[in-house]
Each structure stands twice: as C-alpha cells, then as structure tokens.
Amino acid sequence: MAETKRRVRIAIDAMGGDYAPGEMVKGAVAAAEQGDIEPILVGPLDILKAELAKYDASGLPLHCVNADDFIREEENPALAVRHRPNSSIAIATKMVKAGEADALIGATATGSLVTSALQHLGMIEGIDRPIIGGVLSTIAPKTAIFDLGVNMDCKPQHLLNFAVIGTVYARMFLDVPNPTVALLNVGKEEGKGNQLARESYSLLKKSGLNFIGNVEGSAILTGQANVIVCDAFVGNCLFKLSESGGEIVANYFLDKMKSYPLVNQVLKGKAKKMMASLASPDSVGGGLIWGIDGAVLKMHGHSQAADVTEKLGQAKQAVERNVVSCLKAELSKIRKHINS
C-alpha cells in the first residue's frame, strides 16, 4: 500500500495584520481546501470560531489553537513579545519549536515576528542576524538581492552570509544550479567602493562560491548575476523603490495614454495590472526570514485572503525543500573552504 504524503502543518498568527482575523481565516480556509496544507490558526478561540462559522470548514484539515492574548498595533513589538508569553505570535512560534507545526507565517509587525522567532527558535550557527531578500522584479526573475531590510550596519562576514543564503535561495526557488554571486558596488573594478565593499570582495573571492566580482546598480534589472549582496540600508531603499515603481509607472503610462484615445481604449483595462506586476518581491520564495533555525515567513501587514493562501503555499514549499537544513549544509561547506 502506497504511503500517504503528510500534509504540511503551518501555524498562523491569526491576529496579526491590518485585516486580521477575517482575512487570515478566509485565506487559511482556501489553503486547506487544496488538501496538502494543514493551517493552524492561533488566537482567541471565540474570535476564531466566529470567523470560521462564515465558511463550510467541516472536514477540512484546519485547526484552531487558543491564545488568550495578541500584540496590538500601537504596542512596541519587541517589548510586547517579551512581556506577553501567551500572545498569538508567541504560541504559534512555540508550536514550531515543539514540532507541532512545520512552519510559521504572520502579518504581525516585523519586530514582533523576529523577536518571537529569536526567542523561541534561535539562530542557525554561523549567522548572528536574521536576513531577508528575494527577487525584486519580474523584469529580472533570476536575480535576487540580499539583504533587503534587516542588517543596516554590516561587516564582511555578514555579506558573506548574504551570499551563502542567496546561493541556497537561487538553487531552491529560482532553479539555478550554480548561481553567480556579485557584490553591489559603485564600480566593477576590484578595489572600488568603501572599506566594507573592499574587505567583502576579498572574503567572497576566496569563499568557493561562484563569485563574479562587483556589479553596479544597472545589473539589478539586467540579470548580470543571480545573487547580488549589499547591506540592508541600500537593499531596503531598492526594495521600496521596486515596490512602488510598478504602480507609479502604471499611473504615468495611463495619464499619457489619455492623449491617444484609441490606444487608451484598447489598453486601459490591462495596463495598470501589467505595470504593477513588474514589481513582485514576494512572488518567489518571498518573506522567508533566513538565519532563523526554523521556517518563518513574513507577510505584508496589509495582506488579505489571497495573500495568506499564497504565503501558506510558499511556506509549504520551504518546508518540503528543507531550506533550513540546506542552508546549514552550505554554511558548513563554506566555512571549511575558507579555513582550508
């Protein structure tokens, strides 16, 4: 008799985000209907059950776990997690630690999610700070940037970690067997840039990764490298530019089309959607907080049901591809290479 494939169990902080808990529950129900994901909604049971009553969820692989408390928007996210051990985000994270869930997702404030993950799951050996990154645009679907928002003040070792993580990301989510790695800089020549860039170049050069040297900003959307590393001060500026760029270009394009009535009539319904799709930072393996010793994914605070369902699918993919174990193995290999 063939063995039945186990569903991936994913804990959800159902009380985090602008549209919680309604959109969290709705998205979880849609994911559970697919049959291969087992969402676990965490929050006050009376609130969750009232939301679930809006759907025919009987027989679905979907569960609720009680959390008497949750973090409010106006609270200091990091302090609130430390002082409120029974909050929904804390309970959900503890479930991953205890092996009762395979992954965690939340539209919770980033500070709350990261603090809870650090407190209960800890960091992978060799990485001392959480890291986020991914593809910025569909224009360059095989180019990822790390770090996009956490590590502002970096040392060369941090940029090496970004490169290792980016390499694992590109293999697992972009299907690139031997990803090229580049350092974002103000010029292509070795020796360019500030002290961090120069020292990072030397470390990356002897890392054993497929390092191709420096690239300038123009390389981000032209696919000159699969992984581009930079500190999060630069990376987050790039992220915000990309995130807003599609809509801004779409609005500009629509305004210009008013001068061409026939073109406007043909394209108006499609132009904005097409332009907005150029920026897709969450479309491929998005939201995974790298370096945490467990699969933890961050959703936008404004996520709605479709976003929740998509993120549950991405969490399932991260679990099935063993991203945490693969990262540990790659880090071990790089350490041996540098120390040899």
Find all residues with CB under 8 Å of 2, minimum gap 6, and list them.
none
Q: Are residues 246 and 302 in the same domain?
A: no
Mean pLDDT for the stretch of residues 332-338: 84
* Domain-located, residue 29: yes
Percent of the chain at pLDDT > 90 equals 66
* Residue 146 φ/ψ, nearest 5 degrees: -140, 130
Quick: pLDDT tens for 208-261: 999 999 999 999 989 999 999 999 999 988 888 877 776 777 777 777 777 777
* Domain-located, residue 327: no
Rounded Cα gap, residues 109 and 290, in angstroms = 17
- Give the model's pLDDT for residue 74: 77
* Domain-located, residue 328: no
What is the pTM for the complete model shown?
Answer: 0.86
Q: Are residues 266 and 298 in the same domain?
A: no
Do the strands 133-135 and 144-146 form a parallel or antiparallel pair, or are they unpaired? Answer: antiparallel
Tokens representing 318? 């991260």
We report the CATH number of the domain holding residue 257 as 3.40.718.10
Hey, which residues does 112 pair with through a beta bridge? none
Domain that holds residue 167: 131-285
* Domain-located, residue 14: yes
Q: Are residues 158 and 299 in the same domain?
A: no
Q: Are residues 195 and 304 in the same domain?
A: no
- Give the model's pLDDT for residue 285: 47
> Which of left, alpha, beta for 242 (phi over 0: left; psi -120 to 50: alpha)?
alpha
- Give the model's pLDDT for residue 1: 40
Neighbour-count burial of 296, counting CB atoms closer than 10 A to its CB (0-12 exposed, 13-18 middle, 19+ buried): buried
Rg (CA), the chain: 21
Closest CA to 124 of 333, 325, 286, 337: 325
- Tell me how many domains the chain contains: 2
Q: Are residues 137 and 273 in the same domain?
A: yes
